[in-house]
Each structure stands twice: as structure tokens, then as C-alpha cells.
Amino acid sequence: MFKARMNKQVQPERKVSVVAPLPDRAGPPPPPKKDVELILVKEHNGVQYTSSSLLPAAPAPRYGTQDRETWGKKIDFLLSVIGFAVDLANVWRFPYLCYKNGGGAFLIPYILFLIIAGMPLFYMELALGQYNREGAATVWKICPVFKGVGYAVILIALYVGFYYNVIIAWSLYYLFSSFTFELPWTNCHNSWNSPNCTDPKLFNASVLGNGTKYSKYKLTPAAEFYERGVLHLHESRGIHDLGLPRWQLSLCLLVVVIILFFSLWKGVKTSGKVVWITATLPYVVLFVLLIHGITLPGAYNGINAYLHIDFRRLKEATVWIDAATQIFYSLGAGFGVLIAFASYNKFDNNCYRDALLTSTINCVTSFISGFAIFSILGYMAHEHKVKIEDVATEGAGLVFILYPEAISTLSGSTFWAVVFFIMLLTLGIDSSMGGMEAVITGLADDFHLLKQHRKLFTFGVSFGTFLLALFCITN
């Protein structure tokens, strides 16, 4: 029988493990540790035999992890993850995919892929970030040969970030344009309108396609405001004709970048407070829009179309592909954001519970947003006396053309336009914050000089995304 005990004369000042280092904790560095003497005692026939050996104490945590900041409160982390995952795709993509792919039947492959793929990947990223307390690049110290994968993730997050900022700038432009007695996309009497602009009330029964065109040569005021008033597509001869950035969108983009910079410049201590607004306000607005939407004429038809069940669609491969794509895209796995956020958790945080909670909230939000969207689409179809499929669409056309057009017909349209675009703005801001945090944390953890000058580095990343995004707001 073997027994092991510590020699009291050489025992270190605090107990340590001789197998692995203690979990990283923030605070001042511990005093140097002395060697540990391990004494083995063997008892044989009533006689004890002893042997001893000196073992080195556990090494100190590597630089940059022991003094790593942590979230001020657990709720800061949860709201940051929810704010990143719940983005514009929850509003403009999921409801249409659900409607297009069999309504309620689409939830079967959607939930299946959530359980077998989405949640496991979500949990894995949170666990990797929390355990290693590193960003997307240095977390690959577990297998250094794949460190390039981490840099690829950072590059993707940077790329997505600068074009996402453009969409947020569009939302901000629409928000500023909404502070008028008459919304600018309600009539055809503006400088950007063409002779093809037609009041939709005059052609109720001739809506085609996505609800923006009444014939090959007729466009709604909302469509012309987006295409000609905001983007100025009519001034471009093609993708080769770059043109100059539009000063109105440039100012909106600058405001967005400034908001992002001051939200991130001091790390999670500041961003964790910003998400209290940006992650919760969309739910308030979504609830208000839902309550008002279901009171509109035709809303029931829209919701019925959203929830109709067609199990025959499950035989089609495209339905399963759309479900898998939406799960991965919506949860945000693979962008390095979850790794970065979790790296600021305490070592013993229950990230498994966090993964279940936040991923479930994200998917439930997508489902509920469908009621707010399709109640309005049902109202639009009722107003124009057409079928739901004639107005149902996804993407930018939904939130920048169809929804604004519907809002313009409501009483108190200015109020509804303001709250709707505030929702889009906040949905975009916290998602973009996540992408930029992934870039900043990922590079700062690999280059300690950047970590020491985080504020300056954050400014550089913010300004860099601003310059790149200028190419996306030209005529």
C-alpha cells in the first residue's frame, strides 16, 4: 500500500496541484512557488519504507490570462450573446423560409438541426473560449497546426462586420427620414421619383412578384425611395461604375462606427452595459408591432399562411438545406464571436446552461417575429386585394420596401416608422459589436502589444471598417 503526503517543511505557501495549473483568475500575480517534496511511504510486513523526491510547482498562468477582465455581471454575457445571435436574419429571413418551406412543417427539420448541430457547435465554442480564455486565433494552442483556421475566422468576422455596418447605416438613414409629418416613401412627388412611380392605391389588383412592381414599368414610392432615394442605383451604369460615396450614407455610417467604437473601447465592461439597451429594446418593439399587427384587417390570413402545415414539402431536399443553413447562420457559430465572449467568463461558469438558454431564445425569437411580419403581410395583401404569395418576400426588400410601405398606410405612421427602424438599428448594432469584438480579442490575445493599447487598436479596427464600407455606399 502506498501513501503520499506533503513535507510540511517545504510545503508551498498555498496549495497547488502538481498535475495542472489552477484556473486563471483575475487579480495580482501570486508569489513565486517553492518546490514540492513528494514522499512515498510503502508498508510491508509491518515495516515502512519511505522515499522522497522534489517536484516543481505548477507553472504560473501564461501572460495575459491571469489579469484578463471578466464580465461585470452574468447577465451582461447572456445579453451580449443573445444580442449577437438575434439579428436581422431573425426578422427578414426565417419567417419567409418558414412560409416557403411548408409553414409549421419547416419547424421539424429546423428543430432537428438545432439539436444535432446548432446547439453542440454553440456549446463547443463557448466551452473552448471559456476554458482557454483566449480569442479565435490563440485558442488553437490546443492544436497549433490549425491556428490558420483561427485567422480565417477573424478575417470572416471582419468582412461580415464592414458590410453589416452598411445595412445598419441604411436603417439609420431611414430612421432620420422618418422624422417628418409625411413619410418620404408615401408619394411620387419627390426629386428622386421617376415617371414610372405609381401610387399603389391606384393599382390595387395588379401587384406582381415581391409587391414592389405593378407592371414591368411601374414602381411603388417605397421601392423608388430605397432604390433611387437611398442607393441611387439609377446613377450607376453597373458594378464597374464605382462612383463616389453618398455623403448622407457616409455620415450615417460614421455615426454607426462611432457608436461601435465607444461601445467596445474599454472591453466588456462597456459593451456589457450597452447590450442592456440594444439586446432588450428589439423585444419591446417587436412585441408592440405584434400587438398592433394582429389588430389590422387581413392579419389573420397572413398568420394562417405563415403557420400552414404542408408535410409534403419535407420530401424536398431544399427544405432541409434551408433549415440547416438558417440554424448555422442564425446562431452565429464559426465567426469567433462566441469564443471571444466566453473567454471573458469566469473559469467555473456553467456555459452548458448558457448555450441551451441563449440558443433557445434565439430560435423562439425567430418564430415569434414571424407573427409580426406576416400579420403585416396579410394586411398588405388585404389592402391590395392580392394573395399572400404576391407580397411575401425576404431580405432587404422586406424591411426596406414592403414593411415601410405598410407602415405608411397606418394611422400614426411616423411613430410606427421610428420604432421599427430603431428596432432594426439595435438589432444590427449588437450583432456588429460581436463581430468587431471577435476581431479585437482574437488579434489582441495573439499580439500583446495590441492588448496593451486596446483603445487605440479598437479605433484602428473601427476606422478600418469605415473605410472598407465606403465602397458599399457609392452610387
Known binding-site residues for Na(+) equal 83, 85-86, 90, 330, 362, 427, 430-431
- Cα distance between residue 281 and residue 284, in whole Å: 5
- Cα distance between residue 337 and residue 446, in whole Å: 16
DSSP 8-state assignment for residue 10: G
Q: What is the DSSP string of 316-343?
A: SHHHHHHHHHHHHHHHTTTSSHHHHHHT
- Tell me which amino acid residue 246 is: R
Beta partners for residue 208, in sequence order: 213
Question: CA nearest 441: which of 327, 258, 271?
Answer: 271
DSSP 8-state assignment for residue 199: -
Q: Which residues, including other chains, have CB under 8 Å from residue 50's CB and lie 6 or more apart?
A: 39, 40, 41, 42
- Alpha carbon separation from 416 to 93, 182, 371, 457 (Å, rounded): 21, 12, 17, 39
- Cα distance between residue 424 and residue 415, in whole Å: 15
Q: Count of H helices and E strands in the chain? A: 19, 5
Backbone φ/ψ region at 133: left (φ over 0), alpha (ψ -120 to 50), beta: left
Q: Which residues are annotated as a binding site?
A: 83, 85-86, 90, 330, 362, 427, 430-431
Phi and psi torsions of 52, nearest 5°: -135, 155
Question: CA nearest 122: which of 426, 330, 345?
Answer: 330
C-beta contacts of 211-218 below 8 A and 24+ residues apart: 211/380, 211/384, 211/390, 211/391, 211/393, 211/401, 211/402, 211/405, 212/397, 212/401, 212/402
Backbone φ/ψ region at 182: left (φ over 0), alpha (ψ -120 to 50), beta: beta
Angle between helices 247-264 and 268-278 (to 10 degrees): 120
Question: CA nearest 436: which of 252, 265, 251, 250?
Answer: 265
